[in-house]
Amino acid sequence: MKVFRKIPLLAGAVALVGAMSSGPAAHADPEFTGAPGGTITVDVVTVNGSGCPQGSADVSVSGDNTAFAVTYDRFQAEAGGSTDIVDSRKNCQINLAVNIPSGFTYAIAKADYRGFGHLESGAAGMQQANYYFSGSPETTTSRHELDGPFHGGWRFTDATAVDELVYKPCGERRNFNINAELRVSAGDDSGRRSFMTMDSTSGSVETVFHFAWRQCG
């Protein structure tokens, strides 16, 4: 298992709004430092989990082929108030077919997680993610926590060192899997609701995965 080097939390009083950033050249393999031309597509093969009912997750690729973004419509964990205990933990498992130009392969150099939250005093929230290529034993995992009182947008960024990048084996068709999770615990006053969300209805909320590219052969 490989664990990301974690970059500190950035949090604000309002939801964070951001577009895909420029390519991860600093994390690229020495054999190739730029994104290939041509068409790259990412297709959702399967979606499972309490945080992403069928049809509630979508994927888009940046115009410069440096990243892809996952957006969710109903991904929210909540606790306290009139919520049910099962609402305190939500997860989403997505299997993606990443179609790239022949002669290239990719790794994930950086991941940006964005969302919105409201945590009462004493409440806590947790965002966790792991991803891997189908058939590969190597899994990248990250975990971040928020403590109440908190209200506003949250953002976590994880980056992988160049020598720890995990590339899809050249010439093999292996889907990319993302397993995301949100958890929330109630605060000091259990009658007051707390929540943490990656729901796109809260603004420009998305998870962005930045490619590192390498030529095969």
Compute mean pLDDT per 10 residues along the chain, 217 residues long, and list them.
37 31 37 74 93 87 92 92 95 95 92 94 96 91 95 91 90 93 96 88 72 90
- Residue 144 to residue 5: CA distance in whole angstroms: 12
> Count of alpha carbons within 13 Å of 71, Cβ hemisphere only?
15
Which of 114, 51, 122 has its CA nearest to residue 88?
51
- pLDDT at position 34: 78
- Tell me if residue 162 falls in helix, strand or coil: helix
- pLDDT at position 1: 41
- pLDDT at position 11: 36
- Tell me if residue 186 falls in helix, strand or coil: coil
DSSP symbol at 101: -
Cβ atoms of 130 and 179 within 8 Å: the answer is: yes
- pLDDT at position 201: 52
- What separation in angstroms does the CA of 211 have from each of 29, 78, 113, 144, 202? 11, 32, 15, 22, 26
